[in-house]
Amino acid sequence: MNLDRYHQILADLAPHHARLVAVSKTKPAADIQTLYDLGQRIFGENKVQEMTSKYEALPHDIQWHLIGHLQSNKVKYIAPYVSMIHSVDSLVLLSEIDRQAAKHDRIIPCLLQIHISGEETKFGLTEEEVFALLNDPSFAQLKNIRIAGLMGMASNTDNEQKINTEFASLKKLFDKLREKYFAEQPSFCELSMGMSSDYHIALRHGATLVRVGSDIFGSR
C-alpha cells in the first residue's frame, strides 16, 4: 500500500470538492481497515460476492460502491447495504435494483454507465440508449432507485488528448441530461470518472467521484 499516494490524491481532490472511491477489489480486508482508520469511508468493488464478504467483515459505516458490471440475478445480495451502483447499463437491471431495494424499504442511488471510449466493450450505454431509457414510461414508475449521475471509463491509452475528449463528452452529456430530465432534482449531481492513470484529467472536466485502486493499494 502507498499511503503517501493516498494523501496526495486527497490533496489533489480537495480543491475540486471531489470524493475518492478507494477501489479495493482483490485486496484484503486488512488493507481496507488501514484506510478506514485514516478516515476513508467510500470503497469500490467490482464483484458482488467479494464486496458482500468484505461488507460482513468490516465496519458497517463503510459506504460500498459497486463499480463493476452487475448481473440482474445478483442484485439481491447487495440491495440491503450497497451505497451506490455505478454500473447501471440497462432498464432491465435498473428495474431489478428497484424491485430489490423496495424489499428493504430503501432507495438505492445509481449512476448510468456511459460508453465513452472508442474501445470495444459490451458495457455502457450509448447516448441514444440513455435517452431511450429515460424516456421509457416504465422508468417513471421506479420509486426505489434514484439516478444520481453518470459514470464513464476513458480509453486505456497514453494519448492525453483522446482521454480529454472522452471525459469532455461525458461532462457535456451530464449537463444536457441534467437540464432536460433532472432540472428539479439536485440529487442528479455525480460524475464518476477517472482512475489511477487519468483521475487528474477527469478532475479538470468536473469529476465529483474518482475511482482509484492500484495507485493506493498497489498493482493487482
Indicate whether 68 belongs to the interface with ligand PLP (CB under 6 A). Answer: yes
Residue 215 found at the interface with ligand PLP (CB under 6 A):
yes
Q: Which of 34, 63, 155, 196 binds ligand PLP (CB under 6 A)?
A: 196
Given 13, 20, 67, 177, the residue binding ligand PLP (CB under 6 A): 67
Crossing angle, helix 160-181 and helix 127-135, to 10 degrees?
Answer: 20
Binding-residue total with ligand PLP (CB under 6 A): 14
Nearest-5° Cα angle at 152, 118 to 161: 55
Tell me whether residue 9 or residue 145 sits nearer to ligand PLP (CB atom): 9
Q: Report angle CA 61, 59, 22 to the nearest 5 degrees.
A: 75
Q: Of 7-15, 99-107, 165-173, 208-216, which segment contacts ligand PLP by CB under 6 A?
A: 208-216
Is residue 155 within 8 A of residue 118, CB to CB? The reply is yes
Q: Is there a contact between 199 and 183 (Cβ–Cβ < 8 Å)? A: no
Shortest Å distance, C-beta 50 to ligand PLP: 12
**Binding of residue 83 to ligand PLP (CB under 6 A):** no
Would you say 98 or 215 has its CB closer to ligand PLP? 215
> What's the N-to-C CA distance of the chain in angstroms?
11
Tell me which residues in 144-183 interact with ligand PLP (CB under 6 A).
153
Please report where in the chains the cell 432536460 appears, as a residue: 180
- Nearest alpha-carbon partner for 73 in 100, 91, 104, 50: 100
Contact pattern from residue 38 through residue 57 relative to ligand PLP, giving x for each residue in contact according to CB under 6 A and a dash for the rest: --------x-----------
C-alpha cell at 34: 488501514
The site for ligand PLP (CB under 6 A) is made up of: 23, 25, 46, 67-68, 153, 195-197, 211-215
